[in-house]
Structure 1
Amino acid sequence: MTEDKWMCAPKIYTECWGAEEFNTKEEAIAAGRKAATEKGELAENVFGYYCNPDVPINDFAVGRMSEPALYIPVDSLLEDIAENVYEQVGEAAETYLDDVTKDDKQKLEDIIRNWLVDNNYSPSCFLITDIEKVEVNADDTQI
């Protein structure tokens, strides 16, 4: 997913955004205003849903797409590994992995993060931030 793309939604509190992506906020607003007046297939592409042609669209939302932050719980992973070994051999493994350094934990996190990217397991979903309500005015029918 590319950062800093913009998207429109039918309402500001839309839970699941999924429609056409725009390079700028201004492009998204212009497309949203045009879709609000023309409706039909254009509105489906821009807003991600069917718009009843008999119901006016008075406003819509725009928001910036961004990637979710990936928290990789390295400490929990190491603890799970150590517990698994402890269950197999008992007290002999009591201090196993207790001395992993901060640098080594960071290396492990980087390895996992790179593995996710290299094998196309990065999230295909996204966050929407900087959401704004856009009013549709009578003048917008002239677009």
Structure 2
Amino acid sequence: MNQKEGKWRFYWGNSDIWNDGDDYDTKEDAIEAALSEEYRWTDRDTFRVGQIKCCTNDVKLYAGSVLEQIADHVYDEVGEVAEDYLRHVKNEHESILEERLNKVIKEWMNEFGYYPDFYKIVNVEEVKVEQKELKNEKSKSYIF
């Protein structure tokens, strides 16, 4: 499992790509960190907090699609004589091909560093910042 999985982040922006900032163990820690960035909340009244859900890295190729591409290529090369090429592959043989293809692609991705290292943000909540002036000091609190 990725070390980021389940961590929390905050984001002051409007984009769906939360690619800056730190990761926090709890939602509360992320909220506190966001509130500590006074330069941001002085001109905004909301931010979002959410949890990291990593890509599973379970990349999969489907043998049926690969066989179809091969057959299309051969058809383009020689024409109608190849119309039925690879349309009657036994299920057992297709399964073996799929297993082998996926083994090779995962080894290749691992060897050259092509596994996805990005994630999506789930459990997103908007946090409203309330600001109050108290004896020349700013006070901040939040509401969900």
Where in structure 2 are there 5+ consecutive unaligned residues? 132-138
User: C-alpha displacement at 1:136, in angstroms?
Assistant: 2.2
Tell whether 2:10 aligns with 1:23: no
Q: C-alpha offsets along residues 74-126 of structure 1, whole Å, 9 cap, x if unaligned? A: 23222112221333345358333733332431332243234223311123432
Counterpart residue type for residue 5 of structure 2: E
Aligned pair in 2 of structure 1 residues 64, 103: CA closer, same or farther (>3 Å)?
farther
Q: 1-side partners of 2:49 and 2:41: how far apart?
A: 20
Count of matched residue positions in the alignment of Structure 1 and Structure 2: 125
Counterpart residue type for residue 18 of structure 2: W
Q: Report the structure number with the largest CA radius of gyration.
A: 2
Q: C-alpha offsets along residues 38-88 of structure 1, whole Å, 9 cap, x if unaligned? A: 21xxxxxxxxxxx485x2x32210111223456644232221122213333
Q: Which has the higher helix share?
A: 1
Q: 2-side partners of 1:120 and 1:62: how far apart?
A: 30
TM-score (norm 1): 0.66
Counterpart residue type for residue 61 of structure 1: R
Q: Which is worse superposed, 62-71 or 17-26?
A: 62-71
SS in 1 for 2:49: strand
TM-score (norm 2): 0.65
Q: 1-side partners of 2:126 and 2:41: how far apart?
A: 20
Deviating beyond 6 angstroms after TM superposition, the runs of 4 or more aligned structure 1 residues are none
Q: Which has the higher strand share?
A: 2
Highest RCO, 1 vs 2 (Cα 8 Å, sep ≥ 6):
1
Q: Is the 8 A contact 2:71 2:82 kept in 1?
A: no
Q: 2-side partners of 1:131 and 1:52: how far apart?
A: 18
